[in-house]
């Protein structure tokens, strides 16, 4: 099994790199990319922990601002010591922190005190992502579960949604390419874009030098994966697969348990193994 998209507790996942490495062995993973949001800390740690039979692909998931949408671009097989990439990570973390403080303020207006500080306690660090705030909202009885917390407070258009000054699409792709990585649009069906807008995103990504589409992400339906496979073919893009596993107990997603790529796809990992 190949899984090129998952998270550790260095971002918004629940498992440590140690726990993820145990799960990767248990689930028969042969190639794994750990792709935390805007950080490589987990990658450095898991390197020494994975059993030798598992190939680690150094990865990262970069948040991008594109036409008022927050889009996620995976950098796969990147050179983790590339100075441009390291600089980007610092500026993304700066933007993330500024946003988290503002979300904390917005939540104080609806009666949740010290939400930023509470999110930091849950995360164990201060690279706060919205699921950390969602967990605070659940703990404070403001929402039933994480999904409701997003729907009521954190999703785009809701009271605690804060626009973030993420890197642009073309800059993110340029930096990933300079770091000798492959750039992939993560979970293209998650952005609720119209088909026209999705095609526009993919066309711009391709023009910027992007390499691939995540044709299978988590529990992508057969219909969606077939549509994405068609788009990958049309734009001459490689195809990637990943669970986007975060380790949440009530999620239907499991590390390395995605459906197969449609047959008309060119798997991105063939670039690394041949």
- Binding interface with Mn ion (CB under 5 A): 12, 61, 72, 186, 244
Least gap, CB of 274 to ligand AMP (angstroms): 31
Task: Tell me the CA distances in angstroms from 202 to 153, 212, 231, one per residue in order.
Answer: 29, 9, 8
Tell me whether residue 159 or residue 264 sits nearer to ligand AMP (CB atom).
Answer: 159
x/- letters, 69..98, toward ligand AMP (CB under 6 A):
-x----------------------------
The CA distance from 40 to 81, in Å, is 10
Contact status: 12 vs ligand AMP (CB under 6 A): yes
Least gap, CB of 192 to ligand AMP (angstroms): 10
Three-state DSSP at 214 gives strand
Nearest to 228 by CA among 213, 243, 238, 241: 213
Instruction: Find the part of the chain contacting ligand AMP (CB under 6 A) among 28-36, 76-84, 129-137, 217-225.
Output: 129-137
Pick the binder of ligand AMP from 66, 150, 245, 269 (CB under 6 A).
Answer: 150
Pick the binder of ligand AMP from 17, 59, 131, 242 (CB under 6 A).
Answer: 131
Contact status: 146 vs ligand AMP (CB under 6 A): yes
Alpha helical stretches, state H, the chain: 17-26, 41-47, 83-108, 115-123, 130-139, 146-149, 169-178, 195-207, 222-234, 270-273
Q: How many residues bind ligand AMP (CB under 6 A)?
A: 12
Tell me whether residue 38 or residue 211 sits nearer to ligand AMP (CB atom).
Answer: 38
Contact status: 142 vs ligand AMP (CB under 6 A): no
String of DSSP letters for 59-87: EEEEEEEETTEEEEEEEES--TT-HHHHH
Which of ligand AMP, Mn ion, none sits in contact with 63, Cβ below 5 to 8 A by type? ligand AMP
Contact status: 29 vs ligand AMP (CB under 6 A): no
Tell me whether residue 143 or residue 198 sits nearer to ligand AMP (CB atom).
Answer: 143
Contact status: 5 vs ligand AMP (CB under 6 A): no
Contact status: 215 vs ligand AMP (CB under 6 A): no
First to last CA, the chain: 17
144 Cβ partners below 8 Å, 6+ apart? 138
The CA distance from 105 to 228, in Å, is 39
Three-state DSSP at 145 gives coil
Tokens of 188: 């293209």
Contact status: 63 vs ligand AMP (CB under 6 A): yes
The CA distance from 96 to 160, in Å, is 14
Least gap, CB of 172 to Mn ion (angstroms): 13
Residue ranges in contact with ligand AMP by CB under 6 A:
12, 37, 63, 70, 129-131, 146-147, 150, 155, 246
């Amino acid at each position: 099994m190949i899984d090129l998209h998952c998270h550790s507790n260095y971002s918004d996942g629940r498992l440590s790199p140690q726990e993820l490495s145990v799960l990767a062995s248990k689930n028969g993973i042969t190639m794994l990319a750990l792709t935390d949001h805007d950080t490589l800390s987990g990658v450095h740690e898991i390197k020494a922990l994975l059993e030798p039979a598992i190939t680690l692909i150094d990865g990262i998931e970069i948040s991008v601002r594109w036409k008022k949408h927050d889009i996620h671009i995976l950098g796969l097989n990147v050179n983790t010591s590339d100075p441009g990439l390291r600089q980007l990570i610092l500026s993304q973390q700066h933007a993330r922190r500024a946003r988290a403080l503002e979300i904390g303020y917005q939540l104080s207006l609806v009666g949740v005190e010290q939400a930023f500080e509470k999110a930091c306690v849950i995360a164990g660090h201060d690279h706060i992502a919205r699921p950390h705030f969602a967990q605070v909202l659940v703990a404070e009885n403001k929402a039933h579960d994480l999904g409701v917390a997003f729907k009521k407070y954190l999703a785009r258009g809701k009271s605690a949604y804060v626009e973030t000054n993420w890197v642009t699409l073309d800059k993110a792709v340029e930096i990933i390419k300079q770091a000798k990585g492959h750039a992939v649009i993560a979970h293209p069906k998650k952005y609720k874009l119209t088909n026209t807008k999705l095609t526009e995103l993919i066309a711009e990504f391709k023009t910027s030098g992007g390499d691939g589409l995540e044709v299978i992400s988590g529990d992508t339906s057969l219909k969606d994966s077939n549509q994405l496979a068609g788009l990958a073919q049309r734009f001459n893009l490689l195809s990637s697969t990943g669970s986007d596993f975060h380790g949440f107990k009530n999620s239907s997603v499991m590390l390395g348990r995605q459906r197969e790529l449609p047959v008309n796809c060119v798997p991105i990992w063939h670039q690394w193994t041949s």
